[in-house]
Amino acid sequence: MATLYSGDAYNSVFDIKAYLHEHFHNNDKYTLEIAQCQFDMIQQTLSKNNFTGPRLLEIGGGPNLGNAIQVCTQFPEIVFSDYSESCRRSVEKWVENTPDAIDWSRSIQRVCDLEGKGTTWEDRQALLRRSIKEIIHCDLLKSNPLEPKVYEPFDAIMTSYCVETASPDKDSFKESMKNIIKLLKPGGILIMVNTLNASRYLAGQAPFFSLPVDEPFIREAVVEAGCSVVSATVWRVAEDDEDADHADMEAAVTNGDGVLFLTAIKQ
């Protein structure tokens, strides 16, 4: 079995451009379906709860700005965090508008089109740059994941494809969830996306560790951390779509069998 990378390997062998292309910027059917589900989940969550912040923490955002593009309209203060220095630097370059920054204009345009409010991608881009107030280190295995920084509890927390890749076993997954929820104020909202039953995923040619977890276990971890689950939607490939092309796609990015979109409120 090939070595599965984790921890500090995110600063050395993690291919940021390949990861973003394979998991988020690829226009194949399955990537677009997952992106649509995530867009719908965020929109429905924020509209149903009339939740506008002002302060949102993104935990383990990696090099991905996809979530922040969407939520910056309702959260004018975003603290973006990730374990990897190289991933944080990728986001910093975009915020600073350096010449070598990754181009997020197509993703921003897509979100604006889906919202259908007539917002230009240029205006949304400017808003997003204003909204990201800090880009900081996080480590979910620490009691205070944002150590050494200390913050007042946040109004909302988002985390996507993070807890299962940062936690070496199920006990640490539950502990990580408790550490995250400590950072959320009572009545605050958690928006979480997890790959289901995956043991690895790829960033370029490098295979990275993922803890295989299913929906019942994730729900249990969220409740034990002090939250009430509001909604949980599972995306899976329809049986009649499980063809060779899908098999090739799965082999290229992950060996999971679905994605869970979950929202919860801290008690």
Count CA atoms closer than 13 A to 244's CA, side-chain side.
0
Residue 195 is inside which H or E element, if any? strand 184-196
Please state which of the four CATH numbers 3.10.180.10, 3.20.20.70, 3.40.50.150, 3.30.420.130 is assigned to the domain occupying 7-266: 3.40.50.150
Three-state DSSP class for residue 207: strand
Q: Would you list the domain boundaries of the chain? A: 7-266
User: Which amino acid appears at position 145 of this protein?
Assistant: P
Which pLDDT tens digit goes with each residue over 29-74?
Answer: 878 888 899 999 888 888 876 666 899 999 999 999 999 999 999 9
Number of continuous H segments (helices) and E segments (strands) in the chain: 10, 9
What pTM did the predictor assign?
A: 0.93
State yes or no: pLDDT of 18 exceeds 70: yes
